[in-house]
Amino acid sequence: MNYPRLSFISICTFAVFMLGFQLKPALFEIPKTWDIAAIKQFLLPLPDGTTQVTPISESYYYSLPEMKVFKSYPIRLAGMEANRKYIDSLMTLDPVDLFESEPRTEQDLVRLGEEVFSSPLILFDYSEEFFKALNESVKSAEIPVSKNTFPYYTYVIDEKSKVKVGIFSCAMCHTRVMPDGSTIKGAQGNFPMDRMDGIDAETYAKSLPKEKLKEFDDGMRTGRKRLHGAPWVNHFSQTELDTISAAKIIAYLKAIPPGVMIRHGANYNQPASIPDLIGIKGRKYLDRTGLMMHRNIGDMMRYAAFNQTLDMLNSYNDFIPAGIDFKALTEPGKGEFVGTDKRYSEIQLFALGKYLYALKPPKNPNPSSPDIVKKGKLVFEREGCATCHTPPLYTNNKLTPVDGFNPPASHHDLYDILGMSVGTDPKLSLYTRRSTGYYKVPSLLGVWYRGPFGHSGHVATLEDWLDKRRLDDDYVPTGFKPAFSKTMAVKGHEFGLEITKEEKAALIAFLKSL
Ligand code: HEC
Ligand code: HEC
């Protein structure tokens, strides 16, 4: 992929023109994304205290080519004949470079931000093989789809007479298909990417002749070490990465349900549940572990740049996940790992941030009666939930240390820390690249349209979250159940577990009204 760079001079000239004639200047005060001083405070340190994280330099970042955002079109899951006609009609369309003319108003920004949200990192040529394989994956991986549309990928026209398939947009992971087939952009996504990857890898492995299997094993192992490696951690989940077989990786991938993901930097048995981005503006810490701070839109821009996927070029002491032999950076723009060869432009990131801030929750189609909601609110207050899940955001925006981590004194000046652990499984925040030693207090807004719950999505529903049987060793997690475990206690967060059945129903009705 070759993205021509926007001329710096033309942007400057344009900005001066806009400021002079069109806009209130404040609208276009765009923060600098790769501001090293801001990044230093933005990133929380690893909990082990000895491994330093060094992101790529400012000069490396700004010498990456900028992405272009082209108009995209939905992928319809029609029959083959209807699809041929649809593809033929797309073939006649001209590419539309959406940032060719600059946004002039706040509304323009939000509209373009939505396009950035749906804009893929990877493009490949459309083929009928792709279309057949996609239809098969929808069945084999039980992918929720929306009224015959596949909402996680798009078709993109970036060249005349060519239809490309675009994957790896923000929308791929942050779009939720509801049981009635409607989609909610920005909600906890439910594209089961890991499960699909596992099934696809398994099918592929079966098609290989025996002599190719070792190469396949080695390739899978190296690729996954890039995604999940944290070699300074002395825990089985890390040490096994050096010798793990493809078959075992596949089993791990297949165990991940919709709504949960082994995000890069996380690990097989420590995945992250996908957050709801609606309401993000009010949250002070990003990611379950509060890995990145959110002080202003500049931090949101940094979050997007890091996670899509320039954090793969961070140096953890001397380990660079997407580096050559895990050690060295390629020349800027030559990175082979998805997304490491380019960057979003500043205006694209700014527009993306504006779009995320403008996301609105959907209307609840089945509200409970006001009486029961009122009763539930009383239970919520009596049980002390509001201490942590404080209205109106339903979070106090604090970090809670995990079991096994003692915050150093300096942290109390830097971060908002609640001085108690809620006792949930600490592994995501101790043994991965996403670790900080904390879990944040999540907001409870919008729980009616999301799930599974908890940092790794171990429980499917609020009923299960408030079911004290989850504390028993013979519990079968209803959300993410690690591969190779039949049962597992989902421990910690023992709040609201001792209430009566009626109180529980009322509490849940209240939670679902938020
Ligand atoms: C491959 C799937 C995937 C893609 C692509 C992706 N995300 Fe995410 N995103 C996740 C997961 C999983 C998490 C949770 C990570 C964690 O808690 O450690 C997350 C977390 C976030 C958060 C933190 C929210 C919070 O409340 O903590 C934000 C903001 C976010 N993503 C925005 C974006 C944007 C913007 C893009 C596109 C530039 C994007 N994501 C692309 C999967 C994805
Ligand atoms: C001491 C602070 C604290 C109190 C009190 C508390 N919570 Fe939480 N809550 C948390 C933290 C921290 C998490 C995240 C834990 C994790 O994922 O490991 C959480 C997670 C949750 C979740 C899962 C949300 C998600 O997005 O995954 C729900 C639901 C929830 N709490 C409801 C409640 C209710 C209901 C009460 C009262 C009965 C309550 N909490 C009391 C701190 C608290």
Q: Check: CB of residue 151 under 8 Å from CB of residue 175.
A: yes
Residue identifier of the C-alpha nearest atom 37 of ligand 1:
170
- For residue 316, the CA-to-ligand 1 centroid distance in Å is 21
Find out whether the beta carbon of 275 lies less than 6 Å from any atom of ligand 1: yes
Q: How confident is the model at residue 14 (pLDDT cuts 50, 70, 90)?
A: very low
Question: What spatial distance separates the first Cα and last Cα of the chain, rounded to whole Å?
Answer: 44
Model confidence at 7: pLDDT above 90: no
Q: Could you give the dihedral angle defined by the CA atoms of residues 334, 337, 340 and 342, in that order, rounded to the nearest 10 degrees?
A: 60
Model confidence at 24: pLDDT above 50: no
Model confidence at 20: pLDDT above 90: no
Q: pLDDT tens digits, residue range 425-445?
A: 999 999 999 999 999 999 999
The pLDDT assigned to 78 comes to 83
Q: Could you give the dihedral angle defined by the CA atoms of residues 55, 60, 64 and 69, in that order, rounded to the nearest 10 degrees?
A: 40
- For residue 504, the CA-to-ligand 2 centroid distance in Å is 15
Q: pLDDT tens digits, residue range 65-82?
A: 999 999 999 999 988 999
Q: pLDDT tens digits, residue range 193-243?
A: 999 999 999 999 999 999 999 999 999 999 999 999 999 999 999 999 999
Separation of alpha carbons 245 and 273, rounded Å: 25
Residue from 394, 425, 461, 495 whose mutation best tests the ligand 2 pocket (most atoms within 8 A of CB)? 495
Model confidence at 21: pLDDT above 90: no
Q: Check: CB of residue 483 under 8 Å from CB of residue 251.
A: yes
Q: Specify the amino acid at residue 94.
A: D
Give the closest ligand to the alpha carbon of residue 441.
2
Find out whether the beta carbon of 153 lies less than 6 Å from any atom of ligand 1: no
**Residue 271 CA, closest ligand 1 atom number:** 12
* Bond before 361 cis per omega within 30 degrees: no
Q: Check: CB of residue 213 under 8 Å from CB of residue 205.
A: yes
Residue identifier of the C-alpha nearest atom 39 of ligand 1:
170
Separation of alpha carbons 171 and 77, rounded Å: 18
Q: Check: CB of residue 318 under 8 Å from CB of residue 325.
A: no
Q: pLDDT tens digits, residue range 240-269?
A: 999 999 999 999 999 999 999 999 999 999
Residue from 385, 458, 493, 494 whose mutation best tests the ligand 2 pocket (most atoms within 8 A of CB)? 493
- For residue 17, the CA-to-ligand 2 centroid distance in Å is 50
Find out whether the beta carbon of 184 lies less than 6 Å from any atom of ligand 1: no
Separation of alpha carbons 505 and 498, rounded Å: 13
Q: Give the length of the chain.
A: 514
Find out whether the beta carbon of 462 lies less than 6 Å from any atom of ligand 2: yes
Find out whether the beta carbon of 187 lies less than 6 Å from any atom of ligand 1: no
For residue 27, which of 116, 115, 103 has the smallest C-alpha distance? 103
Find out whether the beta carbon of 144 lies less than 6 Å from any atom of ligand 2: no
Give the closest ligand to the alpha carbon of residue 506.
2
The pLDDT assigned to 255 comes to 97
In the numeric block, the tokens 């190779």 are attached to 484
Q: How confident is the model at residue 414 (pLDDT cuts 50, 70, 90)?
A: very high
* Bond before 436 cis per omega within 30 degrees: no
- For residue 159, the CA-to-ligand 1 centroid distance in Å is 29
**Residue 400 CA, closest ligand 2 atom number:** 12
CA 21 to chain centre: 39
**Residue 440 CA, closest ligand 2 atom number:** 12
For residue 393, which of 448, 441, 461 has the smallest C-alpha distance? 441
Q: Specify the amino acid at residue 513.
A: S
- For residue 286, the CA-to-ligand 2 centroid distance in Å is 16
Separation of alpha carbons 97 and 70, rounded Å: 5
The pLDDT assigned to 3 comes to 40
- Residue 404 Rama label (left phi>0; alpha psi -120 to 50; beta): left
For residue 440, which of 295, 274, 284, 259 has the smallest C-alpha distance? 284
**Residue 266 CA, closest ligand 1 atom number:** 18
Calculate mean pLDDT across residues 56-71.
97
Q: How confident is the model at residue 27 (pLDDT cuts 50, 70, 90)?
A: low
Residue from 44, 174, 260 whose mutation best tests the ligand 1 pocket (most atoms within 8 A of CB)? 174
For a pLDDT cut of 70, what percent of the chain falls above it?
95
Model confidence at 481: pLDDT above 90: yes
Separation of alpha carbons 397 and 221, rounded Å: 37
Give me the sign of the Cα torsion angle 446, 452, 457, 463: positive
| Mean pLDDT estimate for the chain | 93
Token duo for residue 397: 């925006």
Q: How confident is the model at residue 2 (pLDDT cuts 50, 70, 90)?
A: very low
The pLDDT assigned to 365 comes to 85
The pLDDT assigned to 259 comes to 98
CA-based R_g, the chain, Å: 23
Q: How confident is the model at residue 318 (pLDDT cuts 50, 70, 90)?
A: very high
Residue identifier of the C-alpha nearest atom 43 of ligand 1:
173
